[in-house]
Chains A and B, each alone.
Chain A
Amino acid sequence: MNSRRAIWLVVAGLWSAGCARAEEPVTFRPNLGYELEMMSGVLWKVGGGATPLSYTLVPQILSLKIPPISARPWAGGTLVMRSRFSLLMEPIVRGPEHYYLGLAAAGEIEWRDASGRFTAFFAAGGGFGVMDSKGYEVVGGQGQDFNLNWLMHCGARYRTGENWQVSAGLYFQHISNKGMNKVNPGLNALGPTLGISKLF
């Protein structure tokens, strides 16, 4: 089978799957309980007054979302406010340090379409963590192990079944020690994330 034929078969398969889905409207039970999400991403250093060094982080983020504090109809769907608590496990594959391990709490605002299949979200929050700081060995590195973080995360989620959801997003993270140490260039990083979550 040549490659063009293979591509055609894949396209045809996706198209027919899409049609089959369109024919049977699916409505999911409202996602108003707990949710556990595992997320992976790649973040690259961006400017904005922080360290001039190049950094690449590969965050692995496990988040617990608690039941929404509010859910109300809006724009043909539902607007939901909830909180999430995250364990940040972030290997640093480029940069003087090697890891950042932290915790963060964030408020999340979600808009869900009427069927409950599609969600757009925006989250913002912050927390703290530790890293193997190298600011006294490498100029531009972070000055101490204990650091604060804050984050912004936006994206979309797609319900694949009653209890499962996949997501794609864009994540911004700031890490610094707020001047607790005189070496404090800070680190701003931005990049894409992919996630999978289980609804309870």
Chain B
Amino acid sequence: MKKPTREDVRQRCSRKRRYLTQGDALEAAMLRGVERQRVAYLCPICGRWHLASAG
């Protein structure tokens, strides 16, 4: 897999929902029943939390 470009990373951020805290991100995943399939991570671009597929 090629290394993601800066533009890829930026798009990954802008397409995703932002959460103020890790707890808020986990809560959103739990509400959708997908908490086992997602991990919350702190985005280096926007400084907020996003959800990504686990594993």
**A: which residues have CB within 8 A of B?**
49-52, 139-140, 182-186
Contact = CB atoms under 8 A, between A and B. Distances in A.
28 contacts: A49-B21, A49-B23, A49-B24, A50-B21, A50-B23, A51-B23, A51-B26, A52-B23, A52-B27, A52-B30, A139-B26, A139-B29, A139-B30, A139-B35, A139-B36, A140-B23, A140-B27, A140-B30, A140-B35, A182-B41, A183-B22, A184-B22, A185-B21, A185-B23, A185-B26, A186-B21, A186-B22, A186-B23
Nearest to A138: B35
A49 B20 CA distance: 7
A50 B23 CA distance: 4
Q: SS class of chain A's interface: helix, strand, loop or mixed? A: loop
B2 to A, nearest CB: 25
| Most chain A CB within a 10 A radius of its CB, from B23, B24, B41 | B23
Interface residues of B, number: 12
Contacts of A139: 26, 29-30, 35-36
Nearest to B24: A49
| Most chain B CB within a 10 A radius of its CB, from A50, A52, A184 | A52
Nearest to A49: B21
Contacts of A52: 23, 26-27, 30
A49 B22 CA distance: 7
Contacts of B20: 49
Nearest to A143: B22
Contacts of B22: 183-186
A140 B26 contact: yes
Given A51-B26, A185-B21, 16 more contacts: A49-B20, A49-B21, A49-B24, A50-B21, A50-B23, A51-B23, A52-B27, A139-B26, A139-B29, A139-B30, A139-B35, A140-B27, A140-B35, A184-B22, A185-B22, A186-B21
